[in-house]
Amino acid sequence: MTKQLESLGRFSLFVWNSLLWLFRKPYRWRLITDEILFIGNESLYIVSLAAFFTGAVFAYQSWLAFVMVGTDSMVGATVSLALVREMGPVMTGLVVTGRAGAAMAAQIGNMRVTEQIDALEVMAVSPLQFLVSPKLVAGTISLPLLTAIFGMVGNLGGYVVAVWVCGVDPGIYISKLKYFMDPWDFYHGLIKSGFFGFLLTAIGCYSGYRAKNGAQGVGKATNDAVVSGFIVILVLDYFLSILVPTGVRVQ
């Protein structure tokens, strides 16, 4: 237990110091945009692919259940609510952890074991400011944007399957969706994804930063980043779902 608390303390200090470096000159705007490009733009294809098929399969399974009780008109609203509130932020978080979080841990871990981080310090450049802070900002900005795209593409996948495969009436599909959706459902997902983006980036960077023992250590850091990222996203999602307001309507 003491060890876990120590680790948590070290992680918190690491994140806190990285945040403080954001406000010290020189400001690293260029690095932030580069990281947004890496975390956001380069994740676009895989996030879109995951979104389309998540929406598609969820629509199909929902239709199978709803059709048994004659409420297949609810497929659109169900798919959309689930996508923007839960599946969008969580799935995007998991996909980006697997892609960008792992890559960050590997990059920083490799720099640690090959003394490139020491080289930065010797050249009077803060590794936290140069390597970590820009990634934290980029992760926090990119995840909500990717989540919004996940929601749109996922809804498209759900519509295609519900209307073209299962035969749900397109007018009813859209009208129910509009009736049951509220802007706060959308905001709920975006706020959660901002937290996920910040944390998955922090975990990826921290795992890499503490890597040791050569290539094996880099592999372990990458593994730690992905496993910890997944667990934190899933656990945190539960608590944020309770704390962050939604557009839920009590009929």
Residues within the interface to other proteins (CB under 8 A): 26, 110-111, 114-116, 118-119, 121-125
Is 13 or 119 the residue whose CB approaches other proteins more closely?
119
CB 207 → other proteins: shortest distance, Å?
19
Residue number, 112 or 188, with CB nearest to other proteins: 112
Nearer to other proteins, 121 or 235 (CB): 121
Contact 101, 229 (CB under 8 A): yes
DSSP output for 80-124: HHHIIIIIHHHHHHHHHIIIIIHHHHHHHHHHHHTTHHHHHHHTT
- Taken in order 169, 175, 180, 183, is the CA torsion positive or negative? positive
Query: Minimum Å distance from CB 37 to other proteins?
Result: 14
CB of 164 to other proteins, least distance (A): 45
Write the CB contacts of 133 (distance below 8 Å, at least 6 apart in sequence): 18, 19, 21, 22, 28
Query: Quick one: 62 or 110, whose CB is closer to other proteins?
Result: 110
81/106 with CB nearer other proteins: 106
Q: Least CB distance from residue 173 to other proteins, whole Å?
A: 48
What is the rounded CA–CA span in Å between residue 200 and residue 83?
20
φ/ψ of 40, rounded to 5, equals: -85, -65
Q: How far is the CB of 121 from other proteins (least distance, A)?
A: 6
The answer to whether the CB of 101 falls within 8 A of the CB of 121 is: no
Contact between residue 193 and residue 149 where contact means Cβ atoms under 8 Å apart: no
